[in-house]
């Protein structure tokens, strides 16, 4: 009984503090948005686009934090600037679109880092880069919940259109689901998801919650809805595990959360590999 009581105490102690309670709610929001939207990102092969979008909007986020305007407006402005810069760079002969994206994104991200790490920047601005889930305020939770509700509602409304485009892009238009509009909708929702996640994980780690749980779930589930449910569960469990590690080991919470999400993918990959090896061994024995 003493051991059990000690374990229960250790499990419950972190949640007596308001800072950890708000962090837990933030983790749940991250898991819901990242898990559900991440499945579409992985299936649509937009993982590189997610990273590019997060890094491209970074200067806008930093300027918004420095000037006191809402992060949503700063992020939206950053996306517009990045999109315009990519379009212009892509028109330069001999560069190519992929090269243009790489040049623009790295330039904008470098600019954002210079602004965030400048000695004149106020304390806490680095949180946009590295995340500060333990610094989540009630206002951050309300903003995040509103954005999460928009993303999840949009995914529900657009579900059959996204499914049609994902199943057959060539025939989707005839069904009333233009691929271009579906791609644009995903990118807009991705931008909103980045704004939800950047408070907790920061710009450097935000891609982890949008890709790793969904990639792991894709290895474990064959149908879309179970895949989404699995991705959400993995993201939330990894987030809680990261908070426990941060609380007891005194390491960065954002990095801990991202690390557990990547670990979940590695374990899922090992599980599928082991299953394949068992199947091959069974087939060999049968022959």
Give the whole-angstrom CA distance, residue 105 versus residue 119: 24
Radius of gyration from C-alpha coordinates of the chain: 21
What pLDDT does 117 receive?
74
What pLDDT does 91 receive?
65
What pLDDT does 124 receive?
65
Helix axes 71-90, 179-220, angle to 10 degrees: 110
CB count, 10 Å around CB of 160? Answer: 12
Token pair belonging to 253: 């919470």
CATH number of 8-269: 1.10.3470.10
What pLDDT does 208 receive?
86
Q: How far is CA 68 from CA 58, 125, 144, 173, 196, in A?
A: 15, 11, 17, 43, 17
8 Å CB contact between 127 and 254: no
Give the whole-angstrom CA distance, residue 103 versus residue 121: 26
pLDDT in tens, the chain (287 residues): 577 777 777 778 888 888 888 989 989 998 999 899 999 888 887 777 777 777 788 888 888 878 877 777 787 788 777 777 766 766 667 666 667 777 778 888 888 878 777 776 766 666 677 777 877 778 778 888 888 898 899 999 888 888 877 776 667 676 677 777 777 788 788 877 877 777 677 777 788 888 999 999 999 988 888 999 999 999 999 999 999 998 898 888 888 898 999 999 999 999 888 887 777 667 666 66
């Amino acid at each position: 009984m003493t051991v059990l009581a000690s374990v229960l105490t250790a499990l419950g102690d972190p949640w007596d503090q308001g800072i950890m309670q708000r962090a837990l709610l933030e983790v749940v929001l991250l898991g819901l948005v990242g898990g559900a939207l991440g499945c579409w990102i992985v299936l649509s092969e937009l993982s590189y686009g997610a990273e590019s979008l997060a890094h491209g909007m970074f200067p806008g986020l930093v300027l918004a934090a420095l000037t006191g305007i809402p992060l949503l407006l700063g992020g939206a402005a950053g996306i517009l600037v990045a999109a315009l810069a990519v379009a212009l760079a892509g028109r330069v002969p001999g560069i190519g679109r992929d090269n243009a994206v790489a040049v623009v994104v790295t330039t904008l991200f470098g600019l954002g880092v210079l602004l965030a790490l400048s000695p004149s920047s106020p304390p806490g601005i680095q949180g946009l880069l590295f995340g500060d889930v333990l610094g989540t305020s009630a206002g951050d939770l309300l903003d995040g919940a509103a954005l999460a509700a928009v993303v999840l509602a949009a995914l529900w409304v657009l579900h059959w259109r996204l499914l049609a485009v994902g199943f057959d892009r060539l025939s989707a238009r005839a069904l009333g689901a233009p691929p271009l509009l579906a791609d644009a909708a995903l990118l807009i929702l991705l931008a909103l998801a980045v704004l939800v996640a950047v408070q907790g994980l920061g710009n450097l780690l935000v891609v982890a919650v949008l890709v790793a749980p969904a990639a792991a779930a894709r290895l474990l589930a064959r149908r879309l809805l179970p895949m989404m449910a699995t991705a959400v569960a993995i993201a939330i469990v990894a987030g809680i595990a990261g908070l426990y590690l941060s609380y007891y080991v005194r390491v960065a919470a954002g990095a801990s959360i991202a690390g557990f999400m990547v670990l979940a993918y590695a374990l899922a990959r090992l599980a599928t590999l082991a299953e394949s090896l068992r199947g091959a061994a069974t087939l060999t024995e049968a022959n």
